[in-house]
């Protein structure tokens, strides 16, 4: 999503009129739905003045596109400034500029890390070149327009307040400087020269528009790419705080010979804790260190081990992963490093009967020279969970270990939205935040009126990527564990009945295609990720008069997560209720953050449903639109093509995505995920080439060429002349009569004006025997927002 988008000419005018900061601030309110801090407004005012000076060169075209504050898809990170156009050979380019207010920076021993004065102290941060380069890599990875369109990204950094670049330009950063050069205060002309290398001809922001509305490629699943990662391939580039944690851990590893080390890394869902842990596992293993990845929860370990099966010896896999309860008798410093993920789930005792050892936190610190704890205290979900900052510090002191603490911010979960996580904390009444509603947040959250509606939504999403599942609070007995004929979660009034997750598959149930027919719980999904999650609230959490009421007694008697509650309730009732309240709220918070793209919920309690609807503030028009979308997706499943599942795509090269034009407004225009579609085999009568896709065209505006409901073959991002061709186009002002959307399939006509400087008009012409359809015409100004997304090739079904 781009906050501010104009041409260079208009941007410079906004700066000259001293309106640029106000324009960006208003755009943030309109597009992101929140206010901006005074310090950020001041930084825009200062930085944009310097950028305007650098662009004040007649060789940088006035109609080059300018974008400010572009949010990188599926992350919480933003690119400060982008300039788009073409180079001297006609290649499409986007120059990425990372802007910094720093006045000075100093080198460190850590790769890609510098020190600078931020806030009230000197802090370690990613080098601006490393940051700009990794942001460009993320854009390349996630945006399909960039990935498939042969778009060149040219990142750089501009530190307009910094005059001494000794630290930044140190030779140890040469590799990153070659990827993304740094320009200092006195380098405005050099920055201009850099930009002119890539932008010699303007495009009136066409490329920026395509990027902003382009399809989003699916994010990488750690489990699916684990094997490649362990073979040393750079599957995940770490950004910002991730890089700092990674380099700090490696430095502490080097220092561990002189004394025991403990690193505590705080981070909520989607901050990349496990990605950092796996990258460290790879690096340390390659450096011949004795290292293990440790979790108390077996679900992620079993999934990772299943994904690695067949790629390496089972003994090696076993040596890489372990539970947290096997270190009760381990010798001191037997391991170089232990990487403890989900450290909040650690227990005091170990063993089946919880009768072994003294304390898992202490045992892990004692067993390794470096123990790294990835911690999120808001994910404590059982009575026995003792992992906390205070507990780790206590045992670190007892073992005379040096301690370092770092924090990761939200990046890759819930569409990279810190706002959704803050909204959850506020709505579940974990703690108050400023996020009282979901207005302005790019995350698909819905409240369902029935469990059947929830199940239907999840099944539809699962057709797209096999990454949608249902979960629930543990308020129903697991009857089907012993009797397969029995149902567990039952709502008789809705005719709804389902079973808990597959007992024979244990913690690997989430990998099984048939698990869409079961419901998971907190014990089988924590530490794992989905595209969409459907959450059923039990009676342990309800809203009464705006207050969240939790009751551990409503949990199933089979749920061991609250064992100990009744005993403490008799002796310390206030403390028992406080802990139980925290566990229940954390459970639903964890369940509601498993989905990267969306979360759908159902509660049998009507007051609770109304509370979530009010807090999410989703209007009825949107709900109806989504229901219409669901109907289309059901129809989309009926087509004559052979579907290719995610696991087969690497071996079936000649496959193409399949869309319904009624839905493709979201996927071509709104930037929805390219994974939100089926992939099918291209019929043998057509030659495969990059950019092909199949789409269903509805309506009769083109019925002389394309019958209503036909499946057609299209070529994305068509090159060459468009005159007389049938194209798929989109425009903000289009209200197509076939479907009412901002996109349309029509014949492209361009009429030149008599004067060479006269743009003339562009027309999108129907080809129909129905007289109600008339051409859509666009003037020069209107045409700047017209995008030709694809060329129609043939009707194929």
Q: What is the pLDDT of residues 451-471, one digit of tens each?
A: 999 999 998 888 777 788 999
Three-state SS at 702: coil
**Phi/psi at 413 (5° precision):** -100, 150
Instruction: Give residue 619's pLDDT.
Output: 38
Tell me the C-alpha to C-alpha distance, in Å, between residue 236 and each of 17, 283, 413. Answer: 43, 13, 15
Query: Above 60 in pLDDT, residue 671?
Result: no
Query: Above 90 in pLDDT, residue 402?
Result: yes
Q: Where residue 141 falls among pLDDT bands split at 50, 70, 90?
A: confident
Q: Where residue 673 falls among pLDDT bands split at 50, 70, 90?
A: very low
Give the chain's domains with CATH numbers. 2-212 (no CATH), 222-408 (3.40.50.300), 417-618 (3.40.50), 646-795 (2.10.109.10)
* Pair 127, 108: CB distance under 8 Å: no
Instruction: Give residue 108's pLDDT.
Output: 94
Q: d(Cα 404, Cα 249) in Å, to the nearest integer?
A: 9
CA proximity to 588, closest of 618, 548, 545: 548
More confident residue, 273 or 34: 273
Query: Above 50 in pLDDT, residue 514?
Result: yes
Please write the tens of the pLDDT for every residue from 212-240: 877 666 555 555 556 666 666 665 678 88
Q: d(Cα 202, Cα 190) in Å, to the nearest integer?
A: 20
Query: Above 50 in pLDDT, residue 665?
Result: no
Count CA atoms closer than 13 A to 256's CA, side-chain side: 27
* Pair 110, 248: CB distance under 8 Å: yes
Instruction: Give residue 61's pLDDT.
Output: 95
Residue located via tokens 């509305």: 213
The length of the chain is: 797
Rg (CA), the chain: 28
* Pair 433, 439: CB distance under 8 Å: no
Query: Above 60 in pLDDT, residue 626?
Result: no
Instruction: Give residue 273's pLDDT.
Output: 83
Write out the E strands in 521-571: 530-537, 541-544, 547-550
User: Which pTM does this prediction carry?
Assistant: 0.63
Please write the tens of the pLDDT for every residue from 748-795: 988 876 666 667 888 888 888 777 677 888 887 777 777 888 899 888
Q: Where residue 694 falls among pLDDT bands split at 50, 70, 90?
A: confident
CA proximity to 81, closest of 48, 56, 108: 48
Tell me the C-alpha to C-alpha distance, in Å, between residue 92 and each of 64, 138, 210. Answer: 11, 18, 12
What's the token pair of residue 205? 């922001």
Please write the tens of the pLDDT for every residue from 311-363: 666 666 777 888 899 999 999 999 999 999 889 889 999 887 788 999 999 99
Q: d(Cα 613, Cα 437) in Å, to the nearest integer?
A: 10
Instruction: Give residue 34's pLDDT.
Output: 65
Tell me whether residue 754 is exposed, middle or buried, using C-beta atoms within 10 angstroms of its C-beta: 0 to 12, 13 to 18, 19 or more. Answer: exposed
DSSP codes, 48-88: HHHHHHHH--TTS-TT-EEEEEEEPTTSS-EEEEEEEEE-T
Q: d(Cα 618, Cα 608) in Å, to the nearest integer?
A: 15
Instruction: Give residue 410's pLDDT.
Output: 54
| Chain mean position to CA 537 | 25
Instruction: Give residue 664's pLDDT.
Output: 38
| Chain mean position to CA 560 | 32
More confident residue, 684 or 638: 684
Average the pLDDT over each of 36-40, 103-107, 487-491 and give the range with the smallest value: 36-40
Q: How many CB atoms lie within 10 A of CB 311?
A: 13
Q: d(Cα 274, Cα 290) in Å, to the nearest integer?
A: 19
Instruction: Give residue 118's pLDDT.
Output: 86
Q: d(Cα 429, Cα 582) in Å, to the nearest integer?
A: 10
**354-387 b/e (C-beta count within 10 Å ≥ 16 → b):** eeebebbbbbbbbbbbbbbbbbbbbbbbbbbbbb
What's the token pair of residue 650? 């690497």
* Pair 170, 109: CB distance under 8 Å: no
More confident residue, 599 or 312: 599
Average pLDDT of every residue of the chain: 83
Instruction: Give residue 635's pLDDT.
Output: 46
More confident residue, 261 or 235: 261
Query: Above 90 in pLDDT, residue 13?
Result: yes
* Pair 419, 409: CB distance under 8 Å: no
Instruction: Give residue 526's pLDDT.
Output: 61
Tell me the C-alpha to C-alpha distance, in Å, between residue 71 and each of 57, 131, 634. Answer: 28, 14, 32
In the sheet that 2-7 helps form, which strands lie side by side, from edge to edge?
Answer: 2-7, 65-71, 78-86, 92-100, 152-159, 182-184
Q: d(Cα 285, Cα 319) in Å, to the nearest integer?
A: 11
- Give the mean model confidence (pLDDT) for residues 627-639: 48
What's the token pair of residue 727? 């194209």
CA proximity to 6, closest of 18, 17, 16, 20: 20
Q: Where residue 676 falls among pLDDT bands split at 50, 70, 90?
A: low
SS3 of the chain: helix, strand, coil, percent, to 5: 40, 25, 35
Q: How many CB atoms lie within 10 A of CB 610?
A: 13
Q: d(Cα 484, Cα 133) in Å, to the nearest integer?
A: 54
């Amino acid at each position: 999503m781009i906050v501010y988008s104009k041409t260079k000419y208009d941007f410079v005018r906004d700066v000259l009129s001293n309106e640029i900061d106000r324009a960006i601030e208003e755009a943030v309110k309109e597009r992101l739905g929140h206010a901006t801090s005074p310090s950020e407004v001041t930084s825009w005012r200062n930085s944009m003045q310097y950028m305007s000076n650098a662009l004040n060169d007649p060789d940088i075209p006035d109609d080059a596109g300018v974008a400010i504050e572009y949010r990188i898809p599926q992350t919480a990170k933003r690119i400060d400034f982008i300039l788009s156009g073409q180079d001297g050979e006609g290649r499409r380019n986007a120059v990425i500029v990372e802007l910094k207010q720093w006045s000075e920076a100093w080198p460190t021993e850590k790769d890609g890390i510098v020190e600078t004065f931020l806030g009230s102290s000197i802090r370690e941060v990613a080098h601006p070149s490393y940051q700009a380069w990794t942001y460009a890599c993320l854009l390349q990875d996630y945006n399909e327009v960039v990935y498939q369109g042969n778009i060149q990204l040219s990142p750089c950094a501009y530190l307009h307040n910094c005059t001494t670049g000794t630290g930044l330009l140190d030779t140890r950063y040469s590799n990153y400087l070659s990827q993304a050069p740094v320009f200092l205060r006195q380098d405005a002309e050099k920055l201009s020269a850099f930009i002119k290398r890539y932008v010699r001809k303007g495009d009136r922001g066409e490329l920026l528009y395509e990027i902003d509305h382009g399809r989003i490629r699916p994010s990488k699943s750690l489990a699916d790419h684990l094997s490649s990662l362990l073979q040393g391939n750079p599957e995940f580039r770490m950004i910002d705080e991730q890089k700092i944690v990674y380099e700090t851990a490696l430095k502490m590893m080097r220092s561990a010979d002189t004394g025991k080390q403990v690193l505590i890394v705080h981070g909520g869902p989607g901050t990349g804790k496990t990605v950092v842990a796996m990258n460290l596992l790879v690096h340390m293993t390659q450096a011949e260190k004795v290292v293990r990845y440790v979790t108390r929860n077996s679900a992620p370990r079993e999934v990772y081990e299943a994904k690695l099966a067949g790629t390496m010896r089972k003994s090696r896999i076993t040596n890489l992963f372990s539970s947290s309860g096997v270190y009760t008798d381990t010798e001191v410093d037997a391991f170089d490093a232990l990487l403890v993920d989900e450290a909040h789930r650690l227990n005091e005792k170990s063993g089946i009967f919880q009768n072994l050892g003294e304390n898992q936190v202490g045992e892990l610190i004692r067993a390794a020279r470096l123990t790294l704890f990835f911690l999120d205290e808001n994910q404590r979900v059982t009575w026995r969970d003792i992992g906390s900052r205070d507990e780790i510090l206590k045992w670190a002191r007892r073992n005379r270990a040096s301690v370092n603490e770092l924090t990761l911010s939200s990046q890759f979960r819930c569409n990279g939205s810190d706002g959704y996580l803050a909204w959850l904390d506020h709505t579940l009444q974990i703690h108050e935040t400023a996020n009282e509603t979901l207005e302005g947040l790019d995350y698909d959250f819905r409240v369902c009126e029935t469990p059947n509606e929830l199940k239907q939504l999840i099944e539809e999403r699962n057709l797209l990527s096999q990454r949608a599942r249902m979960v629930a609070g543990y308020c129903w007995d697991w009857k089907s564990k012993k009797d397969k004929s029995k149902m567990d979660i039952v709502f008789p009034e809705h005719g709804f009945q389902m079973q808990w997750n597959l007992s024979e598959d244990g913690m690997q149930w989430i990998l099984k295609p048939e698990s869409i027919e079961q419901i998971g719980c907190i014990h089988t999904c924590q530490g794992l990720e989905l595209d969409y999650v459907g959450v059923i609230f039990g009676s342990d959490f309800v809203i009464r008069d705006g207050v969240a009421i939790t009751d551990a007694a409503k949990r199933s008697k089979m749920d061991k997560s609250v064992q100990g509650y009744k005993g403490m309730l008799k002796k310390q009732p206030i403390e028992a209720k406080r802990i139980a309240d925290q566990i229940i709220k954390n459970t639903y918070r964890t369940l509601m953050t498993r989905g990267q793209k969306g979360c759908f919920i159902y509660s049998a309690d009507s007051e609770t449903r109304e509370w979530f609807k009010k807090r999410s503030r989703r209007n009825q028009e949107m709900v109806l639109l989504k229901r219409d979308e669901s109907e289309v997706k059901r129809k989309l499943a009926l087509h004559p093509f052979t579907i290719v599942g995610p696991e087969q795509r690497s071996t079936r090269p000649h496959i193409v995505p399949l869309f319904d034009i009624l839905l493709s407004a979201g996927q071509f225009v709104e930037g929805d995920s390219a994974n939100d579609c089926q992939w099918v085999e291209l019929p043998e009568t057509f030659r495969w080439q990059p950019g092909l896709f199949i789409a269903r065209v509805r309506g009769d505006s083109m019925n002389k060429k394309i019958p209503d409901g036909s499946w057609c073959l299209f070529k994305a991002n068509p090159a060459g002349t468009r005159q007389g061709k049938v194209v798929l186009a989109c425009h903000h002002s289009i209200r197509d009569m076939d479907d009412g959307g901002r996109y349309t399939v029509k014949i492209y006509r361009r009429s030149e004006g008599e004067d060479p400087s006269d743009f003339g008009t562009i027309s999108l012409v129907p080809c129909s025997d129905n007289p109600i359809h008339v051409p859509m015409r666009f003037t020069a100004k209107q045409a700047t927002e017209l995008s030709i997304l694809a060329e129609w090739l043939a009707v194929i079904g």
